[in-house]
Amino acid sequence: MDIIKCYDIFKAFGDQNVLNGVNLNIPKGKITVVMGASGGGKSVFLKHLIGLLKPDQGRILIDGNDITRLGRRELMEIRSRFGVLFQGGALFDSMNVYDNIAFPLREKTTLSLKQIADKVKELLEQLKLTGMGDKFPDEISGGMKKRVALARALIMDPEIIFFDEPVAGLDPIMMWNIFGLIKSTHEQKKYTAVIVSHDIPHIFSIAEYVAMLHKGKIVACGQPDEVISSPLKEVQSFINAEKWHNNQVEYEKN
Ligand SMILES: Nc1ncnc2c1ncn2[C@@H]1O[C@H](COP(=O)(O)OP(=O)(O)OP(=O)(O)O)[C@@H](O)[C@H]1O
Ligand SMILES: [Mg+2]
């Protein structure tokens, strides 16, 4: 079953057309990866899915609700079923790691302090952050920030989690670490994951469904093997260019 259905989404900023008729169905309970070139509109697309941007045209159905037509209150209600990991992490710099993770529970639930503490502690352990609760975002590494952001996205047990570039800028070890955590939490909680990324070919290792955004449209989608072997020139040149770039970066690091 498809939990998210996008029909002909158009979005322009001034005279720049970013989305030019995006059509995509996202299967429930799977890990879907939307890939595409930098600046191609992946983050803009993701912001439409969570209702942060409204399309100029088109419809976005989430579980049958057209989120482009919902009022503020209804949108908030549906958003409470989402977790989001933003591209920059978007942690609160003035709160320590514990409070960053506990924040949604305090704001949106009636759990007791003890219940909140237990939940946060369990997630800290699961995400290999034990003992980090007292640290502030500027005292931890980029990889730890991503893990804290992941913990905060997971804490409400959401049905859908949106990830914007979860491993960009991380070294290969931390990248595999984050992929492993996404995979293991996904297997455990069975949420629908929508990941936007240009980390090719690594991201294919966790993708169950892949879509490629190119010039504002989805030009290919399907199982990872199907997309990898797509005869389309734009797909092949993107995959090969990203592979080459990533090999180069790893080579230079070694
Ligand atoms: N709020 C905005 N106002 C005006 N232009 C915007 C806005 N948000 C994004 N854009 C433009 O839309 C285009 C797509 O941006 P977007 O951030 O979606 O790219 P991306 O595919 O996520 O790139 P990256 O891989 O580098 O994160 C860019 O040219 C960007 O400048
Ligand atoms: Mg982006």
Q: Could you write out the DSSP letters of every residue in 85-130? A: E-TT----TTS-HHHHHHHHHHHH----HHHHHHHHHHHHHHTT-T
- Sorting pLDDT into bands at 50, 70 and 90, what band is 142? confident
Q: How far is the CA of 42 from the centre of ligand 1 (A)?
A: 7
Under 8 Å CB-to-CB from 34, ≥6 apart: which residues? 24, 42, 45, 46, 194, 195, 196, 197, 210, 211, 212, 213
Residues 77 and 162 in one domain: yes
Residues 162 and 241 in one domain: yes
Q: Judge contact between 57 and 7, C-beta under 8 A.
A: no
Question: Residue whose CA is closest, atom 26 of ligand 1?
Answer: 38
Residues 73 and 169 in one domain: yes
**Per-residue model confidence (pLDDT) at position 147:** 87
Answer with the one of 106, 137, 156 that is the final residue of a domain.
156
Any idea which ligand is nearest the CA of 163?
Answer: 2
Helices 142-154 & 172-189 angle (0-180, nearest 10): 10
Residues 101 and 201 in one domain: no
Residues 176 and 117 in one domain: no
Under 8 Å CB-to-CB from 223, ≥6 apart: which residues? 208, 209, 210
Residues 132 and 180 in one domain: no
- Look at residue 109 and tell me whether its pLDDT is greater than 80: yes
Task: Give a yes or no: residue 87 inside a domain.
Answer: no
Could you list the residue range(s) of the whole structural domain that residue 55 is in? 2-81+158-253
Residues 169 and 249 in one domain: yes
Evaluate: CB of 166 within 6 angstroms of ligand 1: no
Q: How does DSSP classify residue 203?
A: G
Q: Judge contact between 34 and 222, C-beta under 8 A.
A: no
Residues 181 and 66 in one domain: yes
Q: What is the CATH number of the domain that holds 18?
A: 3.40.50.300
Distance, CA of 126 to CA of 151 (rounded, Å)? 9
Quick count: other Cβ atoms within 10 Å of Cβ 140?
18
CB-count exposure of residue 139 (10 Å: 0-12, 13-18, 19+): exposed
Q: Amino acid identity, residue 216?
A: G
Question: Residue whose CA is closest, atom 27 of ligand 1?
Answer: 38
Distance, CA of 138 to CA of 94 (rounded, Å)? 9
Across 207-226, average pLDDT:
95
**Per-residue model confidence (pLDDT) at position 250:** 67
Complete DSSP assignment for 27-39:
ETTSEEEEE--TT
Residues 138 and 168 in one domain: no
Question: Residue whose CA is closest, atom 2 of ligand 1?
Answer: 13
Task: Give a yes or no: residue 75 inside a domain.
Answer: yes
Substitution site in 44, 199, 213 for ligand 1 pocket (most atoms within 8 Å of beta carbon): 44
**Per-residue model confidence (pLDDT) at position 89:** 67
**Per-residue model confidence (pLDDT) at position 192:** 97
Evaluate: CB of 14 within 6 angstroms of ligand 1: no
Residues 164 and 241 in one domain: yes
**Per-residue model confidence (pLDDT) at position 254:** 66
Evaluate: CB of 198 within 6 angstroms of ligand 1: yes
Question: Residue whose CA is closest, atom 18 of ligand 1?
Answer: 41
Distance, CA of 104 to CA of 211 (rounded, Å)? 31
Closest ligand 1 atom to the C-alpha of 46?
Answer: 18
Note the pLDDT tens digit of each residue in 110-136. Answer: 999 999 999 999 899 888 888 899 999
Residues 169 and 127 in one domain: no
- Sorting pLDDT into bands at 50, 70 and 90, what band is 198? confident
Task: Give a yes or no: residue 66 inside a domain.
Answer: yes
Give the Cα-Cα-Cα angle 69, 57, 52 (nearest 5 degrees): 55
Number of structural domains, the chain?
Answer: 2
Question: Residue whose CA is closest, atom 17 of ligand 1?
Answer: 43
Evaluate: CB of 42 within 6 angstroms of ligand 1: yes
Across 166-178, average pLDDT:
85
- Sorting pLDDT into bands at 50, 70 and 90, what band is 107? confident
